[in-house]
Homo-oligomer: A and B are copies of this chain.
Amino acid sequence: MTDISPLTHFVRKLNGHVDLSDEDRAMLLGLPYSERDVNASAMLTREGEAPGSCTILVRGFACRHKLALNGNRQIVSLHIPGDPLDLQHLYLDCADHNVQALTRASLAMVSRGDLRRVAQQSATIAQAFAVSNLVEASICREWVLNVGRRSARQRLAHLLCELATRLERHGLVIEGCFELPFSQEQLGDATGMTAVHVNRTLGFMEDDGLISRKGRSYEVPNWTALKDEAGFDPLYLHLNQQGAAA
């Protein structure tokens, strides 16, 4: 398979969940899609809407978020290239959260009908979709733990571990360095903290040598130390089944 299809990362992700056959991969890579570029902070879905087609994040970062009464925002998941952004709408008609781009992003729009079709033609693909949704749910459970029962420093450490692990699978971590194009306010919205406290806490973590930062790129000199600090166990990411090339 050529590596230039916008769906490559998506297929690679699915292949990490189940063992796709060559035909499965071909079928997925052959899905008709239209590309769409959006600016940073573009709203992709609003709570209560019924999205028409399914979106796959090709380039850039996005999040799901919900709002409390007082306007406080809570990010409930972060998404990297290759992540489907509304696979759940194959089965649910109404969006229960907002989806928003965090950076400039490229999207591949695939029709629900076409996705349903490939899922009907291949039980393995259907299972891959199911697993994708279930892994998202597992990550969400870990976030409840993160936000509910860990200190500010542990929350951030854990988030960094998770994102690094997920990015690594797409080759986006090089020698412990990776780029997280999130503002500190966004990091706070993901961890249930204020931007000010994110700033301070990252500063302390840097003082302690857990991380080093330059702008929004992060370097982790000692992964073991960071993971121990966070209590990070990648089990919940369900990556055990290593997929090969897409």
**A92-B131, A192-B149 known; A144 vs B238 contact (CB < 8 Å):** no
Separation of A68 and B143 alpha carbons in the complex (Å)? 12
Q: Distance (Å) between the CB of A62 and the closest chain B CB?
A: 15
**A130-B130, A134-B92 known; A76 vs B145 contact (CB < 8 Å):** yes
Interface string of A135-177 (1 = CB under 8 A from B): 1111011111101111000100000000000000000000000
Which residues on B sit within 8 Å (CB–CB) of A235? 47-48, 94, 96
- In the complex, the answer to whether A76 meets B144 with C-beta atoms within 8 Å is yes
Residue in chain B with minimal CB distance to A143:
B144
Separation of A136 and B96 alpha carbons in the complex (Å)? 12
A73 at the interface (CB under 8 A from B): yes
Separation of A41 and B159 alpha carbons in the complex (Å)? 31
Separation of A48 and B240 alpha carbons in the complex (Å)? 12
Separation of A92 and B128 alpha carbons in the complex (Å)? 10
- In the complex, the answer to whether B88 meets A145 with C-beta atoms within 8 Å is no
- In the complex, the answer to whether A140 meets B144 with C-beta atoms within 8 Å is yes
Interface string of A92-132 (1 = CB under 8 A from B): 11101100000000000000000000000000000100110
